[in-house]
Amino acid sequence: MSKTLFDKVWDSHVVRKIEGGPDVFFIDRHFIHEVTSPVAFLGLKSRGLKVLYPERTFATADHNTPTINQHLPVQDPLSANQLKALEDNSNEYGISHWGLGHQKNGIVHVVGPENGITFPGATIVCGDSHTSTHGAFGAIAFGIGTSEVEMVLSTQCIMQPKPKKMRINVNGQLGKGVTPKDVALYIISQLSTSGATGYFVEYAGDVFENMTMEGRMTVCNLSIEMGARGGMIAPDETTFAYLKDKPLSPKGADWDKAVAHWKTLKTDAGAKFDKELTFSASDIEPMITYGTNPGMGMGISKNIPNAEAVEGGVATYKKSLEYMGYNENDAMIGKKIDYVFLGSCTNGRIEDFRAFASIVKGKKKADHVTAWLVPGSHEVEDKIKEEGILDILTEAGFVLRQPGCSACLAMNDDKVPAGKYAVSTSNRNFEGRQGPGSRTLLASPLVAAAAAVTGVVTDPRELL
C-alpha cells in the first residue's frame, strides 16, 4: 500500500497501538532546555525513576540566557536557578549538557541540526513548540509538554494519537526579495493560526526542493503557527550534503547504510492525504504581520484588511488592531518602527545574517532604531566573523550579541518596551510576546534589515 513520508516514519516508531487510544510512540532524539525540564526531573525523582536512554537526550541552555557578558554570572536569580537545575540534572543522569559558555551552546533548534543530532526519519521531541524545525530533514519533530518530557526521560516514549496528514505544495519561482520566511508567513496567512490544527504537514513542490536546508528549517519551524503539530520535507541530496561530516552524523559504513535508508523516505505515488493545498510561488511577496497572531500577515505592499473581510470574530480582530495601534486600511509601508530583532530558531542562522548584511552593507542604521542581532549559536557567530559579515554590520552601526533565544520570547533582559514597535525575524507576534505591551511585526531578515536602515517599514526590494 502506498504510504506518505509521514506514515513511513510514524509507523516505524510505534511500539504498541492502544485500542481506541493513542500509539505508544518511540522517540529517537530528545532535546531539553532549562525552562520546561526542571519539573520533569522533579517528577522522575519523586517516582524514583531513572533516565532510560540518557544518550538519546541532549541538553542546551537557551531560553533565558543573557546575550551579553555571558562570561559573567547570570544576574537574574530565577534564571540562574533554572540554568543550574539543567546542569545538575544533566550531570546526575548522564545527559550531554551544552550550557552557557560551552562552545556548542546555542538555540536548541539551531545546534541540533548543526551537530548532526537531527537526522532523516528520526522522531524528535522537545518541550518547545518550534521543535517542528527538525522536520526540514524528513524527521517527525514536534513540541511536547513537561509531563511528556518526563515520559521521554523515563521511557523514551510518549502516548500520541496519529495526526491527520496534509500536503502543502508550492510551485514556481520565488520573486526577488522573497525568502523562505515569506513563503511560511504567506501559507499561515492563507490558513490562519488554526488551519492545520490536527494535521501533520508535508511540504512539497519545487519551491521547497530548491530551498537550502536553512530555508527548509525556517519553513518547518513555522508549521506550529498554523496549528500543525509539525511539518516535514522529504530528505534529498541537499539534506545528505548538509549532514555529511557533521560531528554526530554517522560515519563510514554507518553513513552509507543510513543514506541508503534515508533515500526511501519519500511519499509514494498515489499515497493519500486527508487534505492537500497548492499555492503558486508567484503570488508571494515579502510579507509582514500587522496584528497579534502570525496568521495576521500580508504582502508588504498591501493595506491592512477590513474586519469584515477577515475570517473569524470582528471583536477579536478589532481588539488586535487596537493593541497594535493600527487601523483597517492602513498601509504598512512607512510605519515607524523602534526596534529590530534578527535571530531566533526561525531566522538566527548564517544565511539570515548574510541576507541582513546584503541590505545594510554600505548604509547606516537609523538613529532611532535599537537593533538586537543575535546569532542562533556560537557556530553561527563564528561564521559571521569569518565571512566578514561582522565588519559590514559594524560599519553600518550594528552590534552583534551572543547566542540565545533572546527577544523572541523576552525571558531574559532583551525586552521591547511597552508600546514600541519591533520588526522581528522570530515566530510570534502575540500580545506582550517580546515584553509586556510590546508590538511585534514579523518579517524576514531582508525586511528587518530594510526597516533597520530606514527606521520605517520598507519594501526590501527597493534596497536590493
Partner 1 sequence: MAYDKFTTLTSTAVPLPLENVDTDQIIPARFLKATKREGFGDNLFRDWRYNNDNTPKESFVLNNPIYSGKILVGGKNFGSGSSREHAAWAVYDYGFRCVVSSFFADIFRNNCLNVGVLPVQVSAEFSEQIFNAIYDDPNTEIEVNLPNQTITILSTGAQESFEINSYKKENMLNGFDDIDYLQNIKGDIETFANGLLL
Site for partner 1 in 258-287 (CB under 8 A): 258, 261
AA letter at 161: P
Please identify, using beta-carbon distances, which residue of 171 and 197 lies nearer to partner 1: 197
With CB under 8 A as the rule, give the number of residues binding partner 1.
77
- Helix axis angle, 38-47 to 77-93, nearest 10°: 50
135: Cα separation from own chain's centroid: 11
State which of residues 70, 146, 212, 303 lies at the interface with partner 1 (CB under 8 A).
Answer: 146
State which of residues 410, 423, 442, 446 lies at the interface with partner 1 (CB under 8 A).
Answer: 410
With contacts defined by CB under 8 A, name the span among 1-9, 263-271, 409-417, 448-456 that binds partner 1: 409-417
Q: 185-214: which residues touch partner 1 (CB under 8 A)?
A: 193-194, 197-198
Residue 155 in grid coordinates: 521511557
Where does 357-438 show beta strands of DSSP type E? 370-373, 421-424
Please identify, using beta-carbon distances, which residue of 175 and 432 lies nearer to partner 1: 432
Q: 366-405: which residues touch partner 1 (CB under 8 A)?
A: none
Half-sphere exposure at residue 214, Cβ-oriented, CA atoms within 13 angstroms: 17
Give the residues across from 24 on adjacent strands: 16, 159
Give the residues across from 231 on adjacent strands: 201
State which of residues 119, 208, 341, 353 lies at the interface with partner 1 (CB under 8 A).
Answer: 119
Nearest to 364 by CA among 400, 397, 399: 397
With contacts defined by CB under 8 A, name the span among 15-23, 99-107, 214-222, 234-242 that binds partner 1: 15-23
Please identify, using beta-carbon distances, which residue of 414 and 459 lies nearer to partner 1: 414
Nearest to 131 by CA among 262, 250, 30, 34: 30
Sheet of 23-26, strand order? 14-17, 23-26, 157-160
- Phi/psi of residue 324, each to 5°? -75, -15
Please identify, using beta-carbon distances, which residue of 205 and 312 lies nearer to partner 1: 312
Please identify, using beta-carbon distances, which residue of 238 and 434 lies nearer to partner 1: 434
- b or e along 309-318 (b: 16 or more beta carbons within 10 Å of the residue's beta carbon)? ebeeeeeebe
405 is an annotated ligand-binding site residue:
yes
Q: 71-100: which residues touch partner 1 (CB under 8 A)?
A: 76, 78-79, 81-82, 85
State which of residues 4, 90, 156, 289 lies at the interface with partner 1 (CB under 8 A).
Answer: 156
State which of residues 2, 11, 16, 176 lies at the interface with partner 1 (CB under 8 A).
Answer: 16
Place of cell 492602513: 330
State which of residues 21, 73, 252, 270 lies at the interface with partner 1 (CB under 8 A).
Answer: 21
What CA–CA distance (Å, rounded) separates 338 from 407?
A: 14
Task: Write down the H helix ranges in 192-347.
Answer: 206-209, 213-221, 237-243, 252-262, 314-324, 344-347
Count of other CB atoms within 10 angstroms of residue 275: 14
Assess contact for 434 and 408: CB atoms under 8 A: yes
What CA–CA distance (Å, rounded) separates 192 from 308?
A: 15
Q: Write each residue from 311 to 350 as x if it is in contact with partner 1 (CB under 8 A), else as -, in one continuous string.
A: -xx-xx--x-------------------------------
Q: 425-444: which residues touch partner 1 (CB under 8 A)?
A: 428, 430-433, 436-437
State which of residues 233, 243, 409, 450 lies at the interface with partner 1 (CB under 8 A).
Answer: 409
Please identify, using beta-carbon distances, which residue of 107 and 207 lies nearer to partner 1: 107
State which of residues 57, 60, 64, 223 lies at the interface with partner 1 (CB under 8 A).
Answer: 64
State which of residues 7, 114, 128, 202 lies at the interface with partner 1 (CB under 8 A).
Answer: 128
What CA–CA distance (Å, rounded) separates 340 from 441?
A: 9
Measured from the CB of residue 102, what is the shortest distance to partner 1 in angstroms?
A: 21
Nearest to 426 by CA among 445, 412, 413: 445
157 is an annotated ligand-binding site residue:
no
Measured from the CB of residue 455, what is the shortest distance to partner 1 in angstroms?
A: 27
Measured from the CB of residue 355, what is the shortest distance to partner 1 in angstroms?
A: 26
What CA–CA distance (Å, rounded) separates 50 from 116?
A: 26
Place of cell 511585534: 440
Q: 35-54: which residues touch partner 1 (CB under 8 A)?
A: 35-36, 38-39, 42-43, 47, 49, 52-53
Q: Is 67 in the site for partner 1 (CB under 8 A)?
A: no
Q: Which residue positions form the known binding site? A: 345, 405, 408
Residue ranges at the known binding site for [4Fe-4S] cluster: 345, 405, 408
